[in-house]
Structure 1
Amino acid sequence: MIGALRSAVLAGAVLMAPLSGAGAEPVHEILDFDQLDGWSKDDHAAALAVFVQTCPDMGDPDWHNLCALAQQQPPDSARAFFELFFRPVLIRDGADPLFTGYYEPELDGSRYPTARYRYPLYRMPPEAKQQAQWLTRRDILTGDVMANRGLEIAWVDDPVELFFLQIQGSGRIRLPDGGALRVGYGGSNGHSYRSVGVELVRRGTYGAHQVSAQVIKNWVRRNPDAGRELLLHNPSYVFFREVSHVATHLGPLGAMNRSLTPLRSIAVDPDFVPLGAPVWLEKDGAGKMRRLMVAQDTGSAIKGAQRADVFFGTGDVAGQAAGQLRDRGRMLVLLPIQRAYALLPDGA
């Protein structure tokens, strides 16, 4: 899946091989819209509706002006709007393209501990906010540093799902009375994520092609003692905050502090892609995807000019789809015309 709200490693990065060629000087190439595979078949009005949700937060004058125009466009002129005021820019930094998926998990839980709901979601302790690196996951979960401090937001019934909730960085807790509460990223202990999927491959438990979030969950549940120790292999620990101001029918908040839209919002590397920019995605592999997205989120595993994480929505079905996505392809950033041409070597 973070910038302000989702700095945990995303589910698509449970098993992440290093990308080749990363760190090269970026190369920019401007393409025509007729060079975008499937461009004419997309629902540009849907993409425009997502773009206008966050473009008011883009401070630069050229983006601000285009946002004002976007807000005046009827749905049937969406494609013409993008073609008239933007140019598709292919940015390459030497790294292999990689597209993964993320989602908003739903867990069963309670605001109070019970025999069933025994695993707490914590707010960030004040002392952890004052340190770049605090206690490890093992220290937090096996010691008593969090006890009797009133830092619990809720308790859930499954420590494995809680572990993956921390990877996603946000989610919903279904309550026994039929209600729900939403939690968002509230900080971390400052330790780098260590992949439990990579660890299972290192041990020879699975081949690299076999590991997924669901495979890891199943293995931990079949091997409770060893599974508990496996999860402690990751020293990173994510704290939460309750998110009460977002309507239940809307998606979780992304790095721009606006709700994400399934299959239209993506997480990107803001070193290459401006947050709020439209991004044309050509994802290959199973379930080939050709659509206009909007860069509304970030993630610590999302690094590189051709790296993106597609938001799939909320719940188990979205999670299964997101967990299966790990494909190549290409993406192009739609930039205001003058800004696009200023990236070329001669500034043309």
Structure 2
Amino acid sequence: MANPTYKLLQFGDLNGWADDDHQAALDVFLSTCGDMRDPAWETICDVARQGQEARGFFERLFTPVLIEDGQDPLFTGYYEPELRGSMTRGGPFQHPLYRLPQNSGEFSRREIEKTNAFEGRGLEIVWIDDPVDVFFLQVQGSGRVALDTGGGIRVGYGGANGREYSSIGLELVRRGVYQSHEVSADVIRNWVRNNGEEGRQLLWANDSYVFFREVNDVPAHMGPLGTMNRSVTTMRTVAIDPAFVPLGAPVWIEKDGADPLNRLMVAQDTGSAIKGSQRADIFFGTGDAAGRDAGRIRDDGRLVVLMPIQSAYALLPDVIE
């Protein structure tokens, strides 16, 4: 990755800025700005809490900054899966979601699943009926589990084994099974399920393994918890790389592709595959329909960070005006 460059923009440079629902974005910003500890952000959050006309608030207190690092822009989508499970092992429910163990970094995904490395240690939260669903839940980081006895639980990210994330979609492309434009979450699911042991071994190409924790204090109508430990919001929350974008910052999204999107979102989440200044993952909501929509997204475009005015100019002399 090249050293980042910064370009100050005007709000008039943002495609579709005037047409967005700025109040919806301000409501989401308010849900997490109180957790930002930088003085410049604390001041802005205090102003926001006093009640503001939304578009004017953003235009008065922020400067749009385009951050580039030499990598191609990439927008993807994520969602909150819904799985089927049981609190006890039996029948189809044979695939555990584990709590974080003390020695989580000692094993790769292959070693954990092939040798049942954590079996018998009381780390199981719930048992799931489909190992492919477990894998995709780990990719998403949080989800809901409908229990065979009725009711359900929610789980959130509890930690990982520290191994590097590898895309199994890119692995299928590397093997010549598909071309890159043919790969989606549904395509991957079907290939794994239809290829038995070879499908299982494809999942092992991703060494990263995610552990979970129960998150049952979040109301059912609210989204899962993001990195800021607050509920994320459908089509207003975006996961970013915090090495470039401050967590909690408003970000202007200009996503190309079959369904273009120009929208003000808030950087409330992160992900192991989200690396780079122009890399973003849009939260599409909960359930299968959201998962299908999220799985189809692999588009280019532009991400612009709204920075406090003084913070934006403090980036000089690296800023290109």
Amino acid paired to 2:301: G
Unpaired runs of 5+ residues, structure 2, are none
Distance 2:202 2:23 in 1: 46
SS of equivalent residue, structure 2 residue 40: helix
Aligned mates of 1:91, 1:144 — CA distance in 2? 44
Q: Does the 8 A contact of 1:256 with 1:275 survive in 2?
A: yes
Report whether the alignment pairs 1:40 with 2:12. Answer: no
Equivalent residue letter for 2:76: T
* Among 32, 35, 56, the residue aligned to 1:80: 56
1:165 to 134, 137, 155: 137
2:244 counterpart SS class? coil
Q: Please name the residue that 2:296 is paired with.
A: 324
Partner of 2:230: 258
Map of 2:274 onto structure 1 = 302
Find the counterpart in structure 2 of residue 185 from structure 1: 157
Match of 2:97 among 107, 116, 121: 121
TM-score (norm 2): 0.95
CA distance in 1, matches of 2:156, 2:47: 32
Query: Equivalent pairs: percent with the same residue?
Result: 61
In the alignment, what sits opposite 2:305?
333
Residue 190 of structure 1: how far off its partner (Å): 2.1
Alpha-carbon displacement from aligned partner over 1:195-253 (angstroms, at most 9, x marks no partner) = 32222222222122211211111011112222122222322221111112211111111
Query: Cα distance, 1:272 vs. partner?
Result: 1.2
In structure 1, what is the equivalent of residue 216 of structure 2?
Answer: 244
Structure 1 equivalent of residue 181 of structure 2: 209
Name 2:67's counterpart in structure 1.
91
- Look up the equivalent residue of 1:120 and give its one-letter code: P
Residue deviations 1:124-166 (CA, integer Å, cap 9, x gap): 22232xxxx3112222112243222211100111111111111
List gaps (5 residues or longer) in structure 1. 1-22
Q: Distance in 1 between matches of 2:267 and 2:119?
A: 39
**SS of residue matched to 1:126:** coil
Q: Structure 1-normalised TM-score?
A: 0.88
Count residues in correspondence. Answer: 320
Aligned mates of 2:178, 2:269 — CA distance in 1: 31
The answer to whether the Cα contact below 8 Å between 2:132 and 2:192 also exists between their aligned partners in 1 is yes
The letter for the 1-side match of 2:217 is H
Amino acid at match of 1:185: Y
Structure 2 residue corresponding to 1:278, chosen from 246, 250, 266: 250
Conservation of the 8 A alpha-carbon contact between 1:29 and 1:344: no
Displacement, 1:328?
1.0
Q: What is the aligned partner in structure 1 of residue 239 from structure 2?
A: 267
Q: Give the CA deviation at 1:283.
A: 0.8
